[in-house]
């Protein structure tokens, strides 16, 4: 069997996992532990086309990792193929500019970055510590969502606030979805080698949504900020708003600043505007049935995505490729069409037939062959990137 990597993506109330072979990218087993820290929590294993769900009586991350270990103990050939564990880490601050093998200093560094992403980074540490206990001796690697954006120039990542606040607190733009953008940049260079020395803008449009500009394979700007709330309108996030709105909402609704930020994170975006759903597919069905509010929400989403793509493109030498990825970017021909329509002034046009007939789950071009700016759909694969980083760091260490 090929070498494989156990990938762990530990959230505050869930833990997603997968065992991926590399090379080959076969998923040997995958699953999710849900409702951790709440009640009725359970873990589901998907293996060989079957699904098996077990209750987690103490609802803990520890029990979730223990059940993964128990499952692997019963599937020896998979267990023996695992050469390391790759952890997805949301915030690496300015400390982590690439993936690293986890040691005590790395755990401390992730802990320090928790001030910007407390729910996520503290959950990641739980996942790392439980994995260290249960998979003793297996090397573990941390892969950061922020790392790819560490190449942004100072003029791009600073907020125009007193410099002292950056110097004392590291308040700046970090950006997220970096593992996805790194995958897209490498995949585009594989299918269109000239792109490695060209200018690319990418829209990662899913429940969370952001944009990124990439010149010569390096990130030059991105839409998310110190947290993922900034930039595009998303499933439940507002994206960028006038910061004064926080104080207006807080005063008008008599809620705290933190509660207001929670409202902007969890009750806004497609959900807040449509008052129907945060899910693009559900809204597209509603538009089809004639719902005007669903249409307004999707059109706002498209308009903001287009503006953001145009904005990040200002950091490129030339604009040669546009890439759509993420659940919405890969699947919604309506939104791709709307976004590209708003980008016509930048010479970005697509072939509407290619757009509507794009095959699901495959790389494809949706611009005309003669187009100066090529428009692509490239399905992202963050898990593969984590597995590849894990294997390569382990091999370098030997």
Instruction: List residues with catalytic annotation.
Output: 145
Give dist(CA 254, CA 238) in Å, integer: 20
Q: Which is nearer to ligand AMP, 284 or 383 (CB)?
A: 284
Residue with tokens 């969370």: 208
Q: Which is nearer to ligand AMP, 308 or 331 (CB)?
A: 331
The span of 85-93, 186-194, 221-229, 326-334 binding ligand AMP (CB under 6 A) equals: 326-334
Q: Which long-range contacts (CB under 8 A, 24 or more apart) does 229-234 make?
A: 229/261, 229/264, 229/265, 230/173, 231/308, 232/205, 232/301, 232/304, 232/305, 232/308, 233/209, 233/268, 233/269, 233/270, 233/273, 233/300, 233/301, 233/304, 233/305, 234/207, 234/208, 234/209, 234/269, 234/270
328 belongs to the binding site for ligand AMP (CB under 6 A)? yes
Q: Which is nearer to ligand AMP, 239 or 327 (CB)?
A: 327
The span of 99-107, 110-118, 146-154, 322-330 binding ligand AMP (CB under 6 A) equals: 322-330
The span of 42-50, 79-87, 183-191, 275-283 binding ligand AMP (CB under 6 A) equals: 275-283
The span of 102-110, 292-300, 320-328, 364-372 binding ligand AMP (CB under 6 A) equals: 320-328
218 belongs to the binding site for ligand AMP (CB under 6 A)? no
280 belongs to the binding site for ligand AMP (CB under 6 A)? yes
Give dist(CA 202, CA 192) in Å, integer: 15
331 belongs to the binding site for ligand AMP (CB under 6 A)? yes
271 belongs to the binding site for ligand AMP (CB under 6 A)? no
Q: Which is nearer to ligand AMP, 172 or 177 (CB)?
A: 177
What is the rounded (10 degree) CA torsion for 322, 183, 159, 9?
A: 130
Q: Name 140's bridge partners.
A: 85
Please state the closest distance from residue 179 (CB atom) to ligand AMP, in A. 13
Please state the closest distance from residue 205 (CB atom) to ligand AMP, in A. 7
The response to whether 206 counts as a known ligand-binding position is yes
Please state the closest distance from residue 328 (CB atom) to ligand AMP, in A. 4
Please state the closest distance from residue 270 (CB atom) to ligand AMP, in A. 7
Burial class of 309 by CB neighbour count within 10 A (0 to 12, 13 to 18, 19+): buried
Q: Which is nearer to ligand AMP, 140 or 332 (CB)?
A: 332
Asked if 389 and 96 touch (Cβ cutoff 8 Å), the reply is no
* Interhelix angle 61-73/118-134, nearest 10 degrees: 40
139 belongs to the binding site for ligand AMP (CB under 6 A)? no
Q: Is residue 149 left, alpha or beta, with left meaning phi > 0 and alpha meaning psi from -120 to 50?
A: alpha
DSSP secondary structure string for all residues of 375-387 = EEE----HHHHHH
Q: Which is nearer to ligand AMP, 20 or 209 (CB)?
A: 209
- Dig out the tokens for 301 from the structure: 């989403």
Please state the closest distance from residue 189 (CB atom) to ligand AMP, in A. 22
281 belongs to the binding site for ligand AMP (CB under 6 A)? yes
Please state the closest distance from residue 156 (CB atom) to ligand AMP, in A. 25
The response to whether 113 counts as a known ligand-binding position is no
Q: Using CB under 6 A, pick the residue from 92, 175, 231, 326 that binds ligand AMP.
A: 326
The response to whether 207 counts as a known ligand-binding position is yes
DSSP secondary structure string for all residues of 292-331 = HHHHHHHHHHHHHHHHHHHHHGGG-S---EEEEEHHHHHH
265 belongs to the binding site for ligand AMP (CB under 6 A)? no
**What does the binding site for ligand AMP look like in residue numbers (CB under 6 A)?**
206-207, 235, 279-281, 284, 326-328, 331-332
Task: Give the annotated binding-site residues for substrate.
Answer: 88
Task: Give the annotated binding-site residues for Mg(2+).
Answer: 9, 382
């Amino acid at each position: 069997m090929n070498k494989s990597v156990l990938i762990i993506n530990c959230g505050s109330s869930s833990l997603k996992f997968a065992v991926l072979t590399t090379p080959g990218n076969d998923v040997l087993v995958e699953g999710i532990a849900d409702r951790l820290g709440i009640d009725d929590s359970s873990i589901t294993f998907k293996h060989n086309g079957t699904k098996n769900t077990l209750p987690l009586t103490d609802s803990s991350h520890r029990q979730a990792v223990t059940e993964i270990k128990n499952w692997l103990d019963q599937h020896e050939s998979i267990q023996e193929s695992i050469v390391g564990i790759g952890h997805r880490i949301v915030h690496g601050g300015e400390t982590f500019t690439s993936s690293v093998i986890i040691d005590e200093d790395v755990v401390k560094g992730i802990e320090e970055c928790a001030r910007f992403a407390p729910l996520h980074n503290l959950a990641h540490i739980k996942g790392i510590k439980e994995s260290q206990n249960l998979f003793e001796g297996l090397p573990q690697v941390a892969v950061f969502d922020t790392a790819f954006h560490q190449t942004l120039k100072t003029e791009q990542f600073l907020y125009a606030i007193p410099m002292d606040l950056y110097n004392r607190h590291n308040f700046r733009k970090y950006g997220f979805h970096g593992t996805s953008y790194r995958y897209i940049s490498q995949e585009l260079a594989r299918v269109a080698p000239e792109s490695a020395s060209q200018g690319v803008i990418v829209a990662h449009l899913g429940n969370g949504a952001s944009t990124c500009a990439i010149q010569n394979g390096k990130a030059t700007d991105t839409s998310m900020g110190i947290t993922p709330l900034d930039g595009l309108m998303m499933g439940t996030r507002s994206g960028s708003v006038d910061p004064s709105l926080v104080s207006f909402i807080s005063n008008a609704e008599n809620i705290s600043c933190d509660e207001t930020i929670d409202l902007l994170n969890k009750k806004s975006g497609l959900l807040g505007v449509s008052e129907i759903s945060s899910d693009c597919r559900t809204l597209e069905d509603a538009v089809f049935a004639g719902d005007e509010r669903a249409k307004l929400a999707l059109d706002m989403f498209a308009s903001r995505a287009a503006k953001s793509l145009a904005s990040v493109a200002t950091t490129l030498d030339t604009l040669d490729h546009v890439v759509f990825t993420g659940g919405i970017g890969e699947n919604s021909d309506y939104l791709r069409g709307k976004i590209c329509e708003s980008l016509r002034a930048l010479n970005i046009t697509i072939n509407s037939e290619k757009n509507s007939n794009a095959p699901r789950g495959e790389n494809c071009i949706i611009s005309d062959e003669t187009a100066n700016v090529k428009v692509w759909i490239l399905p992202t694969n963050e898990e593969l990137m984590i597995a590849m980083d894990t294997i390569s760091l382990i091999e370098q260490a030997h």
